Structure 1
Amino acid sequence: MDSDYRHGIKEHTMKLCALVVGHKKNNPGAKNQGAGLSEFEFNEQLAIDIERKVSNVNVQRVYRRTYRQLPSDIDELAPDFIVSLHCNAFNQQASGCEMLYYHRSQKGKAMADILQTKIQTALGNKDRGLKARSAEDRGGYLLRYTSAPCVITEPFFIDNDEELGNAKTNYDQLVAAYAEAIEAIAVSNAVVT
């Protein structure tokens, strides 16, 4: 009898999502000066809460040591897919939700579509769409050099007071949207096979 079967029922192996906390404590990324809140601080708590909310997928939080080592650090976990948490910033006026994926990855694009739909709906921000990236583009190194499909999420502009306020007000919905997207990705034939 096949070792994957016990009592006539095939064992179900849960998928693994590497949930990357963008940036790090001593290099915290974008910041909302008025609120004194950095991209790293917001996303570190968000990652913890997403991990608690997801029930049908194994989630492993990943913190970066260096940007160059990040793809190999993630690959050591052998995840089925990767979600990297970020926030956009520009001029305190720009707004919206977008997802970045590697331009040659159909699985990454399918993931980005699931994440964009759930997160943009939860926050109600302007839909900036899916952004294909090459290895040379901002964020492209991570997207290109991980073995599993990867998406960098940019759900709102942290330097925009209105968008940060909206993300805080709708925080529970944001956590739920990420959790729902991760669970949908795990069962999507377009992403995980």
Structure 2
Amino acid sequence: MKKVWIDAGHGGKDPGAVGNGLQEKVIALTVSLGVKQRLEDEYEGVQVHLSRSTDVFLELDERTDAANKAGADLLVSIHCNAGGGAGGFESFRYTNASAASRSLQNVLHTEIMAALKPFGVIDRGQKAANLHMCRESKMPAVLTENLFIDVASDAVKLKRQEVIDALIAGHVAGIAKYLGLKRKEGKPMTKERDINVVSSWAAPAWEAATKDGLFDGSRPGAPFTREEAAAVLLRMEKNILEKLKAK
């Protein structure tokens, strides 16, 4: 049984990067939970442990101590970036990383970028830095920076469920390839999204839009047609006019 440790960056009182209506801690947790679910559901002989499965704060040494104690075969710390100009995806290993960590980074980075290719995400490359999560982990360890919260073009992507799904799929594919995991019989490569369930990152906006009468509250994950967009724009115009009249 292979043990995978997934570390969702930040959490609780530490939101991480914040911008464009997004919080790093929320995206990191969403991707981490998705990676755990897909790896365990689709592959044989793997057990995924999480630093956190809810919105709680943990010190860095608590995270690496737990991973080391568990005897994990690899660690991936999941984050989003900030302050990067044009944005994009990048991955990090420790400056004096082992050959195993270098191999993990290469496979993971390649698979994530392949999954993100349809969305035009910039590849910022594989990098090395003196990061706690990579330095203090006794197993091969990589930290991923999954787009930039404060770059408008990246933020738009991070608000799309299909991009979140691609990030999850890329992490899963990279981990499975590195560990040589065998796919369970009869399991598809991807899962269809339940269009009747709202994504966690979009829940507040969906609730507000429904309350304002822009949507009827059903099928939050369904595709959006131009005729539906026209209807929503008319409803928005009506709402604005009514609010102006009320002043």
Deviation at 1:51, TM superposition (A): 1.0
Residue 101 of structure 1 is matched in structure 2 by 93
- 2:144 counterpart SS class: strand
Question: Does structure 1 retain, via aligned residues, the 8 Å contact 2:91–2:126?
Answer: yes
Report what 2:229 is aligned to: none
1:24 is the counterpart of 2:11: yes
Cα separation, 2, equivalents of 1:22 and 1:51: 15
Q: Quote the Cα distance in structure 1 between the aligned partners of 2:108 and 2:94.
A: 15
Q: Percent identity?
A: 28
Alpha-carbon distance change, 115 to 168 in structure 1, aligned in 2, over 3 angstroms: farther
Q: Give the Å deviation of 1:171.
A: 2.0
Q: TM-score, normalised by structure 2?
A: 0.63
Query: What residue number does 1:89 align with?
Result: 82
Is 1:163 aligned with 2:148? no
Q: Which residue of 2 aligns with 1:5?
A: none
Q: Does 1:58 align with 2:53?
A: no
Q: Does 1:133 align with 2:129?
A: yes
Which residue in 2 is equivalent to 1:143? Answer: 134
What amino acid maps onto 1:21 in structure 2? A
- Report the Cα distance in structure 2 between the residues aligned to 1:24 and 1:171, rounded to whole angstroms: 18
> Following the alignment from structure 1 to structure 2, what is the Cα–Cα distance between the partners of residues 168 and 183?
26
- For structure 2, list consecutive stretches of 5 or more residues without a partner in the other structure: 182-247
Which stretch of structure 1 is more off in the superposition, 60-69 or 173-182?
60-69
Q: CA RMSD in A?
A: 1.7
SS in 1 for 2:133: helix
Return the alpha-carbon distance in structure 2 between the equivalents of residues 45 and 25 of structure 1.
Answer: 14
The structure showing larger relative contact order (alpha-carbon pairs under 8 Å, at least 6 residues apart) is 1
Aligned residues: 167
- Give the deviation of 1:18 after TM superposition: 0.2
User: 1:123 — aligned with what?
Assistant: 116
Aligned partners of 2:64, 2:37: CA distance in 1, in Å?
A: 24
Distance 1:185 1:88 in 2: 25
